[in-house]
Chain A
Amino acid sequence: MHEPLFSACLRGAAAVLALARTTLADAADRRGNNAPLAYPDTAYELPVAFGLTDLRVATLGDAGKVLDLAETLVRRGATAENALDAGAATLLAADVLGALSHEKGNPYPPPAVGFVPDSTLRKLGIYLVDGSVPGVAVVVGKATDPAAAAGMVRQFQEIGLLVFLAGDVVAQLDAQGVKLGEDFKTFPLGPLPAVIHAVNFAVRAGLTFGGIGRGQGAAMLSYLGTRVKAFVCALGPLDDVALAIAAGAMKAGLTVLSDQPVPEIPGLLLSRPAGDEMVRAGMEARGIKVKMVKVPIPIAFGPAFEGERIRKADTHIEFGGGRSVAWELVRSAPTEEVTDREIVVDGPDLRGLPAGSVLPLGIVVRVAGARMQRDFESVLERRIHRIVNYGEGTMHVAQRDTTWIRVSTEAVGKGFSLSDLGLMLYAKLHADFENIVDKVAVSITTRLEDVQAGLAWARAAYAERDARARTLTDDAVSEFYSCTLCQSFAPNHVCIVSPERLGLCGAINWLDGKAGFEITPTGPNQPVQKGAVLDAVKGSFDGVNAFVRENSRNTVTGMNLYSIMESPMTSCGCFECVLAVIPEANGVMAVNREFTGPETPCGMGFSTLAGSVGGGVQTPGFMGVGKHYLLSRKFLGAEGGLARVVWMTREMKEYLGPLLRERATEIGMPDLVDQIADETVAVTPDALVEHLVKVGHPALKLPPLL
């Protein structure tokens, strides 16, 4: 099916080569073989030859050698490989033609600019590296519908793409009043053959910004394919020559979109009608994402407002929090099922509602991305909490189907609506999860029937997720994740985050670690291979030991994940609670950060204890942990688990609540929670032991800790 296409590429390449030969011969007759040949204002001779071959070109004679080489690339046989190589040959020959045409500078009448000099390349290249110019669009040919072409180019300009134009489309766009020129990052190059100046621009970008040297052809092609996010929009019928040039673009990994019925080659050659669809397909094929610099909503938005509470009196409208049904859900979906930036609000919106209204609410965020995983849904979903709190005048509490959102009277007064809420989620999820999310769509409903119907669906999704979480155990996975975020102040501290032991700050679980690694592969969350299990009960793994040793720079040589007595995990300083051994009671106590009481059975309050635990050192008998670690099956496995806990602050007991009872029941000690003392029962070891004896606490029967 592609054969005619490939044959056309070969014919086109031969035609361009022949033209280059005769034009070069004419010039040589006129000026001699030793006459200089160069583009104006570039350090890269004939850039395509510079980047792809090791030929040096200074004279007309040298250019002949480029053509000789190009000729060897045009082979018989209509195969894909031959067509692509013929494409490369076409680019080499076209660059020779381009340079010949610039003997006396830009050969084209305005507005065409011809060759784009290095000075412009340097200026614009910075923004390509920086990402503020997210990609390059090359528009060539003759539009059937000039208005549609103009619309497309205006869209590119709005997105901030660098645009090159060649062919009749230049005059067409000029007539349509499209703004052209450097200020608009839109370069009308000239007639169709001038498209080579887009190619030699891209090649020079690789030479200048990609650290690629002369003649590193393979590195250059890979740079063009992976770093320069460029695509070609070919408008109108394609002749042999146009196809040969297109083959050259494809050889460099660029996507070519034609508005003609060409036979498609996935990723490389696509047929799309000119207009929105072509724009979208081109951007998607090259992974160009549009960054939203400022979220266009009527209220201020940022971390500064995260802590803001909205009191009842200032609330214009609220959702959930026990007053109405409300839930939120993030779902991943195949990329073709998600339309980026689609924000749909169904049902009554905020405007026009009387103050003090209560509405039901269902929020569904659908995301797609090549590196998105179903496991990350919960990570993104928990981020909703922070994002909503970022708004000045929006408050978010809890999660899932217990979510509670308030919007202040002031915010509604400024015109804040639910689609703005959607926009906040859209923009921030894109920004925070740039590496894993390509598309985000938000749909919000406030219609009771829909919210209720959705609730069942959302609950099924939560249940499915929880079931999956239960299968995620330390024994079942082969890698844990590190977190070294706290090394900024505890230099040798490494948190090892496993499915059954979250980071000691309580903020990072195994899935967060996994997502964190995908988002920033060079960041603080790195995969840690478990390696051989040295002691399953203590939680000793040789891979973990090796990782901790290396990342603590040899200060911590081994670490047991489930022990407080023997090589426990180090503590940085931001632990949610501290565990401390009470030798007299043969058990451990747990005190949370919020506990302000001056005393606990170990003789210290939280802050004194914290002072002696932190800093990234191993302190057997003391350890900082996340609160939820107490509920883990792996909690202090080496010392006998939850049965070791003899004392816990009241606040913690309340916080862990029914989950703690569940876990106690699971280990066959349904009364344990009531046997554990708190600050109202004992704050000295003696009183504690007395209590434990009285209630028959199981720790007293466990093997001695010391």
Chain B
Amino acid sequence: MSVALPIPGFPGRILAVTLPAGPGGTPVTVGGQNALPLLPEGEHPNAPAVGMEVPTGPLELPPALAEAIGPFAGDPVAMARKCAGDWGARFLFLSLSGCHPDAGGQSVSFGAAVVREVLSATPAPVIVGGCGDEEVDARLFPAVAEAAGRPVFLSYAEEKNHRLVAGAALAYGHGVVSWSPIDINMAKQMNLLLADLGFPPDRVLIDPLTGGLGYGMEYTFSIVERIRLAGLSGDAALARPVLCHLGDAWKAREATDPSEGTWGDVGARGPRWEETTGLACLAAGADLVVCRHPSSVARLSGAAWR
């Protein structure tokens, strides 16, 4: 006797979004699927992409990261080359954290210059992250948008600043990462607000806020899953690729504290922590993950099949 397997079909499809590359580079296209991740059914034209964060400004790195990326501290251009080259990142997340007043307070024009240099140093697709200070970012995004010689994504637009970030992106042809604090309704509302401004939907990624393993990852898992299910069920405002930034994994004491001898080698613990967080995100449906440790790129890329 044969039993027909109940294969769920979805009416919706996730919008495909392309992160453009510079001359000679490979653009990253994600989305386009009409099924849940890691399942055999449905169409998955684009595998998830794994990228790396390129930090700026002074860094206080936990042991595992100090060893891997410490030598590149203060040289985002060299680090960008390394990430996109040897380390195999398909895209870069250039974080202008150095412009934050509490993290050295590099000037806005300095931040914009870093963007320009990184973009000319590598053709890899780039997402530029603000510094997180509301007042500085309000000046930073327009400056970055103007300075970037080729299309990038600006991260991130939230409820408060979305008009400014979207305006800056529209002015120079960039995309935006729309951010919401683990809140499906807010994620939806953000996309409706952007649509209301006339922002092209195929230039928007959803960042649902990613908690690290043990520090809120389960909330992220659930929200990514629900965003994806809503999108596949036909909610166009949520049928967008999802980006998970794994940086929070490095805030866990388990990932960084060398004093706990019984927990094993801290040099291995950190990357493991980030990988595990990333694997959960991929299983939940993330289309882009941003990691900090080079070893995570390879491990997660290996897992990023559909």
B233 partner residues in chain A, CB cutoff 8 A: 553
**Whole-angstrom distance between the Cβ of B219 and the nearest chain A Cβ:** 9
Q: Are B226 and A128 in contact, CB atoms less than 8 angstroms apart?
A: no
* A211 contacts B by Cβ under 8 Å: yes
* B170 contacts A by Cβ under 8 Å: yes
Interchain CA distance A121-B226 in the complex, whole Å = 40
* B87 contacts A by Cβ under 8 Å: no
Contact with A along B222-249 (1 / 0, CB 8 A): 1100100110010000000000000000
Contact with A along B187-230 (1 / 0, CB 8 A): 01100110011111000000000000000000000110010011
Q: Are B189 and A523 in contact, CB atoms less than 8 angstroms apart?
A: yes
Q: Are B193 and A126 in contact, CB atoms less than 8 angstroms apart?
A: no
Q: Taking A123-B142, A123-B146 as contacts, is the C-beta distance between A130 and B183 under 8 angstroms?
A: no
Which of A83-91, A484-492, A604-612 contacts its partner? A484-492
Q: Are A211 and B185 in contact, CB atoms less than 8 angstroms apart?
A: no
**Whole-angstrom distance between the Cβ of B186 and the nearest chain A Cβ:** 7
* B149 contacts A by Cβ under 8 Å: no
B171 partner residues in chain A, CB cutoff 8 A: 121-123, 125-126, 208-209
Q: Taking A208-B171, A488-B182, A523-B189 as contacts, is the C-beta distance between A126 and B200 under 8 angstroms?
A: no
Q: Are A491 and B184 in contact, CB atoms less than 8 angstroms apart?
A: yes
Q: Which of A316-358 contact B (CB under 8 A)?
A: none
Contact with B along A199-213 (1 / 0, CB 8 A): 000000000111110
Q: Are B163 and A122 in contact, CB atoms less than 8 angstroms apart?
A: no
Q: Are A488 and B183 in contact, CB atoms less than 8 angstroms apart?
A: yes
* A524 contacts B by Cβ under 8 Å: yes
Q: Are B198 and A524 in contact, CB atoms less than 8 angstroms apart?
A: no
Interchain CA distance A553-B200 in the complex, whole Å = 27
**Whole-angstrom distance between the Cβ of B243 and the nearest chain A Cβ:** 19
Interchain CA distance A121-B222 in the complex, whole Å = 43
* B166 contacts A by Cβ under 8 Å: yes
Q: Are B198 and A210 in contact, CB atoms less than 8 angstroms apart?
A: yes
Contact with A along B60-75 (1 / 0, CB 8 A): 0000000000000000
What is the chain A residue whose CB lies nearest that of B197?
A: A129
Q: Which of A457-510 contact B (CB under 8 A)?
A: 484-485, 487-488, 491
**Whole-angstrom distance between the Cβ of B28 and the nearest chain A Cβ:** 23
B193 partner residues in chain A, CB cutoff 8 A: 522
Q: Are B166 and A129 in contact, CB atoms less than 8 angstroms apart?
A: yes
B200 partner residues in chain A, CB cutoff 8 A: 211
* B25 contacts A by Cβ under 8 Å: no
What is the chain A residue whose CB lies nearest that of B193?
A: A522
Residue among B184, B198, B230 with max Cβ neighbours from chain A (10 Å): B198
* A131 contacts B by Cβ under 8 Å: yes
Q: Are A129 and B186 in contact, CB atoms less than 8 angstroms apart?
A: no
Q: Are B170 and A487 in contact, CB atoms less than 8 angstroms apart?
A: no
* A127 contacts B by Cβ under 8 Å: yes
Interchain CA distance A131-B162 in the complex, whole Å = 11
Number of A-B contacts (CB under 8 A): 70
Q: Are B189 and A129 in contact, CB atoms less than 8 angstroms apart?
A: no
What is the chain B residue whose CB lies nearest that of A487?
A: B185
Partner of B199, one of A122, A208, A211: A211
Interchain CA distance A210-B223 in the complex, whole Å = 31
Contact with A along B130-145 (1 / 0, CB 8 A): 0000000000001001
B186 partner residues in chain A, CB cutoff 8 A: 488
Q: Are A130 and B185 in contact, CB atoms less than 8 angstroms apart?
A: no
* B110 contacts A by Cβ under 8 Å: no
B175 partner residues in chain A, CB cutoff 8 A: none
Interchain CA distance A122-B233 in the complex, whole Å = 38
Interchain CA distance A129-B176 in the complex, whole Å = 15
Interface residues on chain B, size class = 20 to 34
Q: Are A211 and B198 in contact, CB atoms less than 8 angstroms apart?
A: yes
What is the chain B residue whose CB lies nearest that of A219?
A: B198
Interchain CA distance A208-B170 in the complex, whole Å = 7
Interchain CA distance A553-B233 in the complex, whole Å = 9
A553 partner residues in chain B, CB cutoff 8 A: 226, 229-230, 233
* B168 contacts A by Cβ under 8 Å: yes
Interchain CA distance A121-B193 in the complex, whole Å = 23
B10 partner residues in chain A, CB cutoff 8 A: none
Residue among A121, A130, A523 with max Cβ neighbours from chain B (10 Å): A130
Partner of B163, one of A123, A130, A485: A130
Q: Are A126 and B230 in contact, CB atoms less than 8 angstroms apart?
A: no
Q: Are A522 and B142 in contact, CB atoms less than 8 angstroms apart?
A: no
Q: Taking A211-B199, A553-B229, A553-B230 as contacts, is the C-beta distance between A122 and B184 under 8 angstroms?
A: no
What is the chain B residue whose CB lies nearest that of A128?
A: B167
Interchain CA distance A128-B186 in the complex, whole Å = 24
What is the chain A residue whose CB lies nearest that of B233?
A: A553
Q: Are B167 and A125 in contact, CB atoms less than 8 angstroms apart?
A: yes
Interchain CA distance A122-B170 in the complex, whole Å = 8
Residue among A121, A211, A485 with max Cβ neighbours from chain B (10 Å): A211
Q: Are B163 and A131 in contact, CB atoms less than 8 angstroms apart?
A: yes
Q: Are A129 and B167 in contact, CB atoms less than 8 angstroms apart?
A: yes
B104 partner residues in chain A, CB cutoff 8 A: none
Q: Are B185 and A524 in contact, CB atoms less than 8 angstroms apart?
A: yes
* B252 contacts A by Cβ under 8 Å: no
* B58 contacts A by Cβ under 8 Å: no
* B78 contacts A by Cβ under 8 Å: no
Q: Are A209 and B170 in contact, CB atoms less than 8 angstroms apart?
A: yes
Interchain CA distance A524-B145 in the complex, whole Å = 32
Interchain CA distance A487-B187 in the complex, whole Å = 12
Partner of B167, one of A209, A484, A488: A209
Interchain CA distance A485-B186 in the complex, whole Å = 9
Q: Are B189 and A522 in contact, CB atoms less than 8 angstroms apart?
A: yes
Interchain CA distance A131-B163 in the complex, whole Å = 8
**Whole-angstrom distance between the Cβ of A279 and the nearest chain B Cβ:** 25
* B17 contacts A by Cβ under 8 Å: no
Interchain CA distance A211-B203 in the complex, whole Å = 12
Residue among A125, A129, A520 with max Cβ neighbours from chain B (10 Å): A129
A208 partner residues in chain B, CB cutoff 8 A: 170-171
Interchain CA distance A484-B198 in the complex, whole Å = 26
B146 partner residues in chain A, CB cutoff 8 A: 122-123
A488 partner residues in chain B, CB cutoff 8 A: 181-183, 185-186
Interchain CA distance A524-B184 in the complex, whole Å = 11
- Nearest 7 A-B pairs (CB), nearest first? A129-B167, A211-B198, A122-B171, A126-B167, A130-B164, A488-B183, A522-B192
Given contacts A121-B171, A488-B185, 18 further A-B contacts (CB under 8 A): A123-B171, A126-B170, A128-B167, A130-B163, A130-B167, A132-B164, A209-B167, A209-B170, A211-B170, A211-B198, A484-B185, A491-B184, A491-B222, A491-B226, A522-B196, A553-B226, A553-B229, A553-B230
Interface residues of B (CB under 8 A from A): 142, 145-146, 163-164, 166-168, 170-172, 181-186, 188-189, 192-193, 196-200, 222-223, 226, 229-230, 233
- Interface pairs (15), CB distance under 8 Å: A121-B171, A123-B171, A125-B167, A126-B142, A126-B164, A126-B168, A127-B167, A130-B167, A209-B171, A210-B198, A487-B183, A491-B184, A522-B188, A524-B185, A553-B233
